[in-house]
Each structure stands twice: as structure tokens, then as C-alpha cells.
A and B are shown apart, each in its own frame.
Chain A
Amino acid sequence: MFLLVEVLLWLAVPGLPGVLTALATAMLLGGFVALIIAGLWGVGKIIVRAALNYFSAKQRIQRRLWFALAKQDQAKRLFYFKTRQLKYFNELSRKRLLKLNNRKHIRVLSKAIDKELLSIKTKLPGTTYQQLQQDHARYRNRQDIEALLTLQQKISTLV
């Protein structure tokens, strides 16, 4: 229509282009308004349909079922982790007992080594004695059983 107005203006027809321009503008605006209304209507319809579907009995039951499934899964996982936790604490208690026992016997062994070392003190050079004593203290603090036994063997061979 705007093209027609251009042609009429070019042909220099009086009056008609003005009326046609107003008509075309009104039609264009009307078209836009109709388009917007149709769009809003469509969106509204979709929203209402989605809301109705969301709150429908089927969907509600389906959600409840999913919730129950998740709860079941959670219960299973909880059981697994509780079992793991119990196993872990059980192992920790056992290790603690073992450590205490090891410490007790290492103390006895250490005393024996001390005694043996003291008995040969006069037969050893001062530096060797001191070195052995230092080694002994270090191994005892480290709770190193193998090293303590090796040290004991070494002291026995020195005598």
C-alpha cells in the first residue's frame, strides 16, 4: 500500500496518497497489535496447559513415585556408608590395640637393649657407645621394630 502511495505521489494524484497513507499505517499497527495479542494468547495458553499438566493426577503420582524411588536409593546408599563407617572404626580400634601392644613390647625390648649396652659400655670406645645409644633412641622413638632387632644383633656381635 505504501508502494501504491509512492506511485500515486509520483503520478502527482492529489488527496488520495494522504488517505491511503493513514489507512496503511492503521492497517500496519492493527496487524502488529493482532500479532502481539495472538502471541500473548499463545503463550498464556501454553502456560495454562503446562500448569494443568503439572498438577494433573498422573503427574502428581508420577512425581510421588520418583520421590519414593529416590528415597529407596538414598536408604540403600545410607546403609552402604554406615557399614563402611562401622568397618572403618572397627579397623581403627584394632589398629589402636595393635599399636598399644607393639609399644608395650618395644619398651621391654628397648630396656633389654639399654641393659646390654650398659653392660658393654666399658669395652666400647666412647663415640661408638654414644652412636649406639643415639641409634637406639632414634629407633625407639620411631617404633622401628626391624631396626631395633638389627641394633640388638649388632650389639651382641660387638661383645
Chain B
Amino acid sequence: MTILNKIIKLFHSVKDENLKWHLANQGDQAKLNHARVLAEKALEAELKKKSVQLEHDISLLKTKHDAELSMFKTKCRQDVKDYKQYLAALDQLKSSIQASYPHLPEAVAFTIHHHAKYLLNEMWEEEDFEQKMQHEMQLIRFMTTVHEDARLHLEGATIESLPERTLNLIGRE
């Protein structure tokens, strides 16, 4: 019986200690709980704010993307139109050289035109701006030379049967 009493006593003393500890730390525990609730609320508010901000950002982003896409679409359309005009200009170039040199073989006229088209494509497909400018200069130089040859022959300044300066330029490039 004494052992059982001792065990019961021990049990009670442990409970007493526990109660005392709870009483002593009640304030701290309440504070801790309060702080935890506050932190959770603050986190919730922060997340909510972030979420609302993000929704706003997304709507702005969508508007920006729509505007950029519309601009890009216009640019693409313009690009194709420009390319078409360039091709027409090169066709014109061929007609002009053929008009100036009536006995110019079709193969030579074709080669000149084909080379001009090659330069145009080089320019068009280049991504680097500086390189693109260089290709553009090359194309302009070539077109100027062809027109110059045609003009000189029409004015009778040369007696050559072929546009030699143009052909030399093709050979060099």
C-alpha cells in the first residue's frame, strides 16, 4: 500500500508542478499565441496584397502585350510590303539594263538580277543591325552601278556590249 501511495503522491506532485508551470507561464503563452495570430494575420494581409498587385500587373501586362503584338503585326505587314517593293525595284532594274543593252543575253540580265536578289536577301535575313546596314550599302552600290552602266550606255558614253562595271562588281563580290 505504501508503494501505491507513493506512486499516487508522485503523480500528484507531477500534476502540481505542471499546473505551477502553466500558471507561471500563462502570460508568456498568451503573448505567444497572440503574436502567432498577429503574424498569421499579417502574412495573410501581405499575401492578399501581393495577389491583388499581381492581378493588376497581369492585366497591365496583357494590355502591353496586345499593343506590342498589334504593332508587331503592322511591322510584319509593312516588312512584306517593303520586300515586295524591293523585288519590284529589282525587276525594274533588270528591265532598265535590258532596255539600255538591247542585245544583252538573257542569262547575263538574269545573273545581274539574281545577284541583286541575293544581296537583298542577305540584307533582309541579317539580324545584326550593323551587318544589315553594310548589306544595304552593298545592295545600293550594286543598284547604282547597274543604273550607271545603263545610263552611260544609253548616252553613248561607252561602246561595250556588256555592262562591264556591273559584271566586275559581281565577280569581286
Interface residues of A (CB under 8 A from B): 57-58, 61-62, 64-65, 68-69, 71-72, 75-76, 78-79, 82-83, 86-87, 89-90, 93-94, 97-98, 101-102, 105, 108-109, 111-113, 145, 149, 152-153, 156
| Complex alpha-carbon distance, A93 and B106, angstroms | 28
B80 in complex: contacting residue of A93, A105, A112, CB < 8 Å: A93
Q: Is B20 an interface residue (CB 8 A)?
A: no
Please name all residues of chain A whose beta carbon is closer than 8 Å to the beta carbon of B114 when the two chains form the complex.
105, 145
Q: Is B43 an interface residue (CB 8 A)?
A: yes
A55 to chain B minimum Cβ distance, whole angstroms, is: 14
Please name all residues of chain B whose beta carbon is closer than 8 Å to the beta carbon of A71 when the two chains form the complex.
58
| Complex alpha-carbon distance, A150 and B111, angstroms | 11
Q: List 22 A-B contacts (CB under 8 A).
A: A58-B44, A61-B44, A61-B47, A61-B48, A61-B51, A65-B54, A68-B51, A71-B58, A72-B57, A72-B58, A72-B61, A75-B61, A82-B69, A83-B72, A86-B72, A98-B117, A105-B113, A112-B106, A149-B107, A149-B110, A149-B111, A152-B105
Q: Is B55 an interface residue (CB 8 A)?
A: yes
Which chain A residue has the least Cβ–Cβ distance from B52? A68
| Complex alpha-carbon distance, A69 and B40, angstroms | 22
B78 to chain A minimum Cβ distance, whole angstroms, is: 10
Count class of interface residues, chain B: 35 or more
A68 touches B40 (CB 8 A): no
B85 to chain A minimum Cβ distance, whole angstroms, is: 11
B105 touches A90 (CB 8 A): no
Which chain A residue has the least Cβ–Cβ distance from B84? A97
Please name all residues of chain A whose beta carbon is closer than 8 Å to the beta carbon of B9 when the two chains form the complex.
none
A87 touches B110 (CB 8 A): no
Please name all residues of chain A whose beta carbon is closer than 8 Å to the beta carbon of B48 when the two chains form the complex.
61
Q: Is B124 an interface residue (CB 8 A)?
A: yes
Q: Is B87 an interface residue (CB 8 A)?
A: yes
B43 touches A58 (CB 8 A): yes
B54 touches A69 (CB 8 A): yes
Q: Identify 15 new A-B residue pairs, CB closer than 8 A, beyond the known A97-B83, A108-B110, A149-B110.
A: A61-B47, A61-B51, A65-B47, A72-B57, A75-B61, A75-B62, A79-B68, A83-B69, A97-B84, A101-B87, A109-B106, A149-B111, A152-B106, A152-B107, A153-B107
